[in-house]
Structure 1
């Protein structure tokens, strides 16, 4: 059965700013609360703060960027959050853009897939066996993680293109997509995941789709909302390539045109409650196991109260 979760549509400067969304997750039918990567806060610490304030809910990071932390530290943070919250954690990771890798490490990973494979290998050994002996091209780790009772930690990978999807099928528990139209998930992501899982002789990872969307209203401009929440992504080469593969052409010179293309290509959804519920069911039919409602555009344009109301309305719509 497909579940529905929420993306915190805010980059909190203070962890208490996350609490209204953690509360909504706890009190509604939302399955999990997610945060993306930001450079002004750490999502693992934000979620731990929410748990300490009494909002103990399932959490997910989608996705945290690998250059920011060694895989041992990633395993420790995911383990600690599961212990603190008392709920399952999806620890989602990805290599990030090549320019981001250069800025932090001096040069990018020689092989994106090779670095991701090693990262997951170290994390899995620590989380499942409590120790690791790994010497690789990208990471070395000889260490132990003290065993302690905790809820499950799933290792997720950010997946946009077929080769990363196939690798996720081989090594990950969860494949996390962003801005991927339902048709692309069905025709590209899921088949590649299955191929990787079959080659490795393991179950197909769960598919989590982050879906940017907004409810239609007379005073709203859907192009503006799509641009506010997604222009940064459409300017990155790996997102542009994924969108091109899904039939959506973007340009680094035309943010408004990119937003219009996202709307036309069903990468950003806009409509009334019934329309959005139907469009989200297309992701269910495409193979999504968890759909994450992302109303960042609404939050950035209209504020916290509007985004909370929007999420409540959408959760009620998909529950029917």
Structure 2
């Protein structure tokens, strides 16, 4: 199983991402992932980093479909691959119903169908093929201008079994968020692997996992709430967590955050304890874990988040955190 880093801050200036991109170079981290930013566009940030010479593999998990057409999504993902010289994982999802309504004027009546069409178009375009799709939501007859470029994998954000099966059918990656290893092993990954797939290679699973190293003055529940409090207030996350056996309420409050910690969906403890829990994701069949230290960055600052990542990834690479490089 490979390890990667989620950018734990929402930059207003691109310089704020440099430290975390450098961690990918200093450690065993596979790539730098970014969630959907509504401040500084994630693709622009990736190309800015490449422009100053910080060229690392990038992952986008997940970009919200209502914000861009599938052609633009494919164009931007390949642009990042060209700028960085590295493979890209471009993950997409329909987003909350309220967001769809706000941006599109009405939500997708069939979000699985919209996701199917979107992922199919983007995947065909980034593979260099013609995209000739006449769909309910997206109709495209186009192709990208041919240029030699590192590969772009297309992923779908996955919370529940139906989307997992769809990712297993039409995408390169299933990208999960905030789901414990046992639920991935018992429900999500079997749905991915059991899909009716005609593509050449099996879909892989990336799990974005919130973590924090236990230190004096830290509180696990507060860190979990800072990391995923907004998600806990969203109905589709509440439903997914209940399906995973975590009885969250509709409030999305500190009590719900504590339940997430207790269930192992948020990992808090010593370096060894966290690695023991991360091993459960490997045993579940996860191909890549993305370490999410957003809560640490919010409550204790970006340098503290970087120190946690450096410590955890130093252990992964078989050396000490000090050997992996300094925290600037």
TM-score, normalising length from structure 2? Answer: 0.94
* Equivalent-residue separation in structure 1 for 2:219 and 2:307 (angstroms): 18
TM-score, normalising length from structure 1? Answer: 0.97
Matches within 5 A, 1:65-214: 65-196=64-195, 198-200=196-198, 202-214=200-212
* Equivalent-residue separation in structure 1 for 2:134 and 2:199 (angstroms): 25
2:194 alignment partner, SS class: helix
Q: Deviations over 1:199-244 (max 9, x none)?
A: 5465331110001011111211111101111110011111111100
Mark the runs of 5 or more structure 2 residues left unpaired by the alignment: 319-328
Cα distance change, pair 88–199 in 1 and its aligned pair in 2 (3 A)? closer
Number of aligned residue pairs: give it. Answer: 318
Q: 1:238 aligns with which of 227, 236, 239?
A: 236
Matches within 5 A, 1:247-286: 247-253=245-251, 255-286=253-284
Residue 40 (structure 2) aligns with: 41
Q: Deviations over 1:78-103 (max 9, x none)?
A: 01100000000000000001111011
Deviation for aligned residue 1:304 = 1.5
Deviation for aligned residue 1:256 = 0.7
1:164 alignment partner, SS class: helix
Residue 58 (structure 1) aligns with: 57
* Equivalent-residue separation in structure 2 for 1:253 and 1:181 (angstroms): 20
* Equivalent-residue separation in structure 1 for 2:59 and 2:154 (angstroms): 10
Q: Deviations over 1:3-43 (max 9, x none)?
A: 11000100111112111111111122111100001211211
Tell me the C-alpha RMSD between the 2 structures: 1.2
Q: 1:302 aligns with which of 297, 300, 303?
A: 300
Deviation for aligned residue 1:299 = 0.5
Mark the runs of 5 or more structure 1 residues left unpaired by the alignment: none
* Equivalent-residue separation in structure 1 for 2:149 and 2:202 (angstroms): 24
Partners of 2:189 and 2:285 within 8 A in 1: yes
Runs of 4+ in 1 over 6 A off after TM superposition: none
